[in-house]
Amino acid sequence: MKTKINNLILVVIILLLAAYLSFDFKEKQNTRITSSTTQTSVSDTNISVDDQNKIMQAYQQQRSNIQVQAQGIVKAVLPDDNQGSKHQKIILKLENGLTVLIAHNIDLAPRIDGLKKGDQLEFFGEYEYNPKGGVIHWTHHDPQRKHIDGWLKYKGKIYQ
The domains of the chain, with CATH numbers, are 51-159 (2.40.50)
The pLDDT of residue 14 = 62
pLDDT tens for 91-114 read 999 999 999 999 999 999 999 999
The whole model's pTM is what? Answer: 0.69
Residues 35, 37, 41, 42, Cα dihedral to 10°:
10
Q: State whether residue 110 is helix, strand or coil.
A: coil
Strand pairing category for 87-94 and 120-128: unpaired
pLDDT tens for 41-53 read 444 444 444 699 9
The pLDDT of residue 64 = 98
Q: Specify the range with the lowest mean pLDDT, choosing from 15-24, 41-50, 143-152.
A: 41-50
Q: What is the mean pLDDT of residues 37-42?
A: 39
